[in-house]
Amino acid sequence: MPPLRLAVLGCADFARRRMLPAFAACDDIALSAVASRDHARARSLADAYGCRALHGYTAALEDDDVDAVYIPLPAGLHAHWVREALLAGKHVLAEKPLATTRAETADLLDLARTRGLALVENVLFPHHSQHARARELVEAGTIGEPRFFQAAFTVPRRPDTDIRYRADLGGGALWDVGVYPVRAALFALGEDLRVAGAVAVRDTEWDVDTGGAALLHTPSGVSAQLAFGLDDAYRSVYTYAGSRGRLTVEPAFTPPADHIPSLRLERGGEITEVRLAAEDQVARAVAAFVAAVRGGVAPDVAVLRQAALLEAIATRAAVAARP
Q: Give me the residues that bind ligand NAP (CB under 6 A), please.
A: 10-14, 36-38, 41, 72-75, 77, 95-96, 122, 124, 163, 169, 176
Closer to ligand NAP by Cβ: residue 108 or 138: 108
For the chain, the three-class secondary structure string (H helix, E strand, C coil) is CCCEEEEEECCCHHHHHHHHHHHHHCCCEEEEEEEECCHHHHHHHHHHCCCEEEECHHHHHCCCCCCEEEECCCHHHHHHHHHHHHHCCCEEEECCCCCCCHHHHHHHHHHHHHHCCCEEECCCHHHCCHHHHHHHHHHCCCCCCEEEEEEEEECCCCCCCCHHHCHHHCCCHHHHHHHHHHHHHHHHHCCCCEEEEEEEEEECCCCCEEEEEEEEECCCCCEEEEEEECCCCCEEEEEEEECCCEEEECCCCCCCCCCCCEEEEEECCEEEEEECCCCCHHHHHHHHHHHHHHHCCCCCCHHHHHHHHHHHHHHHCEEEEEC
To ligand NAP, the closest distance from the beta carbon of 284 in angstroms equals 13
Closer to ligand NAP by Cβ: residue 146 or 300: 300
To ligand NAP, the closest distance from the beta carbon of 215 in angstroms equals 24
To ligand NAP, the closest distance from the beta carbon of 306 in angstroms equals 13
CA within 13 Å, CB half, 136: 7
Closer to ligand NAP by Cβ: residue 159 or 221: 159
Q: For this structure, is 96 an active site residue?
A: yes
Closer to ligand NAP by Cβ: residue 59 or 265: 59
Q: Which residues contact 22 (CB under 8 A, 6 or more apart)?
A: 280, 282, 283, 285, 286
To ligand NAP, the closest distance from the beta carbon of 9 in angstroms equals 7
Closer to ligand NAP by Cβ: residue 62 or 145: 62
Gyration radius of the chain over CA positions: 20
To ligand NAP, the closest distance from the beta carbon of 250 in angstroms equals 17
Catalytic residue of the set 18, 91, 96, 246: 96
Asked if 271 and 282 count as a contact pair (C-beta separation under 8 A), the reply is no
To ligand NAP, the closest distance from the beta carbon of 112 in angstroms equals 18
d(CA 191, CA 153) in angstroms, rounded, equals 20
Closer to ligand NAP by Cβ: residue 54 or 308: 54
The catalytic residues are 96
